Amino acid sequence: MTPELVLDARAQLGEGPIWDAGRSRLLFVDIMRGQVHEFDPETGHDRVIEVDRPVGAIAPTIRGDWVIAARDGFFRLDPDTGATSLIAHIEKDDPETRMNDGYVDARGRFWAGTMGMGGVRERGSLYRLDPDGQVTRHLAGVDISNGIDWSPDGRLMYYADTGAGRVDVFDFDEPRGVISHRRPFLVVPEDQGYPDGLIVDADGCIWLALWEGRAVRRYRPDGALDAVVSLPVSLVTKCAFGGPDLTDLYITTAWIELDAAGRTREPLAGGLFRVRPGVSGRPVRKYAG
């Protein structure tokens, strides 16, 4: 599986790709620049919306707009005007944290977490935003709250804490939106990179991006490594299935930690890549607020 560069986005910290089926667009963010990208695979056009704060995650909503996890909280984002409106504040008074990755569960609740800035450890948390705007914190003491998704039957939740170098799995009570019985799913050795964003495909396998690992890996539900997509860049952040039949796997990358020599060695760092791995994703769940 050899990925192709579909957009030389040159994103400083590209993250959070997600398919908006209603608009037939691939959304992703450039976190520290506070940008939301709306990429049209048919035309190659990439529209950039400026958000006035770092933005870590984005998802479509049942209303047709978008919900974002951004610095200081959860917001709605109007895709036509670019205007934002606050849903709920998150860690507004803590200048040493920011929102990071997130995703929507089967009941339309948006889960997203925070991370410490400047190397601050165990400062992050994981939050659940309900459709009525209520926020619940489920985890504290997180280094870098990252990839999150659920098994096809809704009974398990997978969760990556990048700083810990581990992906964990929880039992998930879908009706109540409650997690329990946390245990390790897989540990990534440091010489192979750090676990970043993840998604679960239609077969229940987990696709994990490896920061400093130059790859996306597919793991079976028993934790066995099943496939590897190698990238020509080191800072790989997350992947998402898109396209009309959800068989295109899009991959975001970054250059934020590369020095001048590193950027010369990796001229495609920050680009958006695509590969067709022969399996399909699941329809993107929408925030029900």
Q: Give me 25's structure tokens.
A: 């667009």
Establish how many alpha carbons lie within 13 A of residue 86's alpha carbon, considering only the half-sphere containing its beta carbon.
9
Q: Give me 238's structure tokens.
A: 């997350």
Q: Give me 234's structure tokens.
A: 């080191």
Q: Give me 2's structure tokens.
A: 């050899």
Distance CA 19, CA 69 (A): 17
* Neighbouring C-beta atoms of residue 133, cutoff 10 Å: 11
- Among the listed residues 20, 161, 168, 196, the single catalytic one is 196
Distance CA 8, CA 38 (A): 14
Beta bridge partners of 67: 59, 76
Q: Are strands 14-20 and 73-77 parallel, antiparallel or unpaired?
A: unpaired
Are residues 142 and 125 in contact, defined by beta-carbon separation less than 8 angstroms?
yes
Instruction: List Cα–Cα distances, 182 to 163, 185, 198, in angstroms.
Output: 17, 9, 17
Are residues 68 and 51 in contact, defined by beta-carbon separation less than 8 angstroms?
yes
Nearest-CA neighbor of 134 among 178, 79, 90, 175?
Answer: 90
Confirm whether 196 is a catalytic residue. yes
Q: Which residues are catalytic?
A: 196
